[in-house]
Amino acid sequence: MELPGFAVAVWMFVCLCASVGGYPNGNVREACTSMVPCHGGSPQRSPEHTITVNRTEFKPGDSIEVHLSGPDFEGFFIQARDAEHLDSPAVGSFVLADRRRSQLLTCGRTKNSAVSHTNKAKKKDVKVYWIAPGDAPKHVQFLATVVKKYRIFWVKIPGPIVSQTDVLSPTPPLHATSEAMATSYPVSYISKPFSASGCGSMKFCIRNPSNCDPGSASCFFLSFQQEASSVFIEMSGPSEGYLAFALSHDQWMGGDDAYLCVNEDHRVHVSTAHLKERSYPLLDLENVLKDVSWRLADGILQCSFRRSIRLPAYKGRFNLDTSYYIFLADGEASEGGLIYKHRRQPLVTNGLYNITGLPQDIGGSRSPRLIKAHGALMFVAWITTVSIGVIVARFFKPVWSHSFLFGKELWFQVHRMLMLTTVMLTSISFVLPFVYRGGWSQQAGFHPYLGCAVMALTIFQPLMAGFRPSRHAPRRQLFNWFHWSTGTTARILAVVTMFLGMDLPALDLPDPWDTYTMIGFVAWHVGTDVLLEIHSYCLVRKVEVIEEDRVQILQSLTSAEAEGRLFKQIVLTIYVCGNIVFLVAFLIAIHR
């Protein structure tokens, strides 16, 4: 009786600790509107910290350096708002100067519209960059909340006001900073998001998600429009680092013609490159692109340029009147323009396409079909057939012991059918990644090693069952123990392997949704198992009533078995329905 009280005490302690801990990691989205930290108490009146900027005028796409400085402080929260309506939502987006000390937050519908601290280490100043959006108000003011200590903080410290210029002038020429980017060319500013109008009729488009609006914060867009002997190319997507696409003769990186739009010190540099296997792209010295334009606004990177269909004088550039697989990737870049490996699988078209041929409006997949099939079959095997088969064998022997199917007890036939189905599905699924990769994958961590262990146990289990001793044989108990331990080990390893596999880029499941759903399934299975164990224990206790009359005991057994049969069948029905729900959720996530 003391355990519930102890649990409540622990729960209250955790809640109290959470309430006084504030937000040491800077994840303060709850304060987006008011900019007031949830620390309790009242803010200080006379601010000790100041906000400065490097310019007071801007036009859409411009970058303004914002500097917060003053006596030592632990936390901060910076936004830009309409100077004439300071209660309005945040305006524009920010880019970080130091990722170790600051992080980007999304307030409202505007991505990266606020900046906060990453830890409560003392700091004297913070520098970030504000990118003016295309729909910016005429006057913008910067505001900051600063936390000196937990109970000492200032809210909405007013900063300078910056205003739009009356005349929009083209962006000055971009000067490259590396030898590989030595060629500079005039660039201009894109005034608004790209449009999908004309996709499939006038231009060849690739969109992810399918049919998305290029102006939305989650749409990756790539279009090709032939104009005489050249092709005009548009590319956009949510990225603070870079966007890139490549033309390839196959669905593997290597020997490809690539085009990169890289955020280099808050300006976009457009370049061509050659991909050599899975290594850093080799940037070209020659300039083969014309009419280059770009835009950085609201967390979306846009670039456009023109390229001749044929470039016989430039080695490594593919002719655009041939069919290719098309890759579309995004990732992070350093302030100097150095790009990092993309964290997720690039979008790859499902077939070869000629971008100068018949206009089409297509999608693509970040997960290859064979890998999707691998994941789907494994989910079917280890979420449905195995789990149900184990429950049937463990708890339905007494319930279905008097029912027969093809000369064998019903529970045994159902169990055997489900387990053989598991072996078949797992075997087929096991082969698919090797077919896709053409061998062993060095990029998948421990997942393939554990997968091989699961496959070995899956094959060993039915082989061992083939040598099962008779029911009353002396070695039957030993067999039962080995059969149970092998199956349990395989199930545990399978769950661990699925957890690791769900985070691999090739499957492209939504994170962290996939992990939480898998945790939910494990809890669902364990909870059902525990419920049936408790029910079986209660039935045993119920029939162990000390009675002198043997008839009374038999009547109790008959009544208890009838009651237990109905309860177990209800639980099994609910359990199967729940497993199907989990399975459908995973299959939808894989197919998306």
CATH of the domain at 122: 2.60.40.4060
Average pLDDT value for the chain: 82
Under 8 Å between Cβ of 101 and 117:
yes
Residues 383 and 421 placed together within one structural domain of the fold: yes
Residues 339 and 446 in one domain: no
Long-range own/partner contacts, residues 494-497 (CB < 8 A, 24 or more apart):
494/378, 494/382, 494/386, 494/454, 495/382, 495/522, 496/450, 497/447, 497/450, 497/451, 497/454
Whether 41 maps to a domain, the answer reads no
Please report which confidence band the pLDDT of residue 555 belongs to, taking 50, 70 and 90 as the band edges: very low
Q: Which two tokens stand for residue 26?
A: 């800077």
Residue 400 above 80 pLDDT? no
Within this chain, do residues 208 and 135 fall inside the same structural domain, yes or no? no
pLDDT bin (cut points 50, 70, 90) of residue 168 is very low
Determine the pLDDT at residue 108: 82
Tell me how many domains the chain contains.
3
β-bridge pairing 57-58 and 152-164: parallel
Residue 6 has pLDDT above 50, yes or no: no
Question: Angle 419-425-427 (CA atoms, 0-180°, nearest 5)?
Answer: 100
pLDDT of residue 285: 66
Query: Across the strands, what pairs with 330?
Result: 243
Domain shared by 521 and 404, yes or no: yes
Residue 32 in any domain: the answer is no
Q: How far is CA 375 from the centre of its chain?
A: 16
Looking at the fold, whether 359 and 377 belong to one and the same domain comes out as no
Confidence of residue 511 (pLDDT cuts 50, 70, 90): confident
* Position 121 in a domain: yes
Helix (H) / strand (E) containing 418: helix 410-437
CA-CA distance, 90 to 202, in Å (whole number)? 37
Residue range of the domain that includes 123: 50-164
Q: What angle do CA 353, 355, 357 make, to 5 degrees?
A: 90
pLDDT at site 280: 72
For the whole model, what pTM was predicted? Answer: 0.57
| End position of a domain, from candidates 330, 365, 400 | 365
pLDDT of 355 strictly over 90? yes
pLDDT (tens digit per residue) in 492-502: 999 999 988 88
> Do residue 564 and residue 580 come from a single domain?
yes
17, pLDDT greater than 60: no
Higher pLDDT, 591 or 173: 591
Query: What is the predicted pLDDT for the residue at 592?
Result: 64
Q: Are residues 376 and 340 in the same domain?
A: no
Of 164, 199, 220, the domain-final residue: 164
Spatial CA neighbour of 241 closest among 303, 282, 301: 301
Are both 291 and 416 inside the same structural domain? Answer: no
Q: Which residue has the tokens 């409540």?
A: 8
Q: Is residue 561 over pLDDT 90?
A: no
pLDDT classification of 296: cutoffs 50, 70, 90: confident
Question: Do 121 and 226 fall into the same domain?
Answer: no
Tokens representing 91? 């305006």
Say how far apart CA 148 and CA 73 lie, in whole Å.
Answer: 4
Q: Which of 164, 179, 204 is the last residue of a domain?
A: 164
Residues 226-281 pLDDT 10s:
998 999 999 999 988 899 999 999 888 788 999 999 987 778 888 898 887 666 77
Segment 29-54, tens digit of pLDDT: 677 888 888 766 678 878 899 999 99
Is residue 411 domain-resident? yes
The reply to whether 151 falls in a domain is yes
pLDDT given for residue 312 in this prediction: 84
**Residue 207 resides in a domain:** yes
- CATH, residue 290: 2.60.40.1210
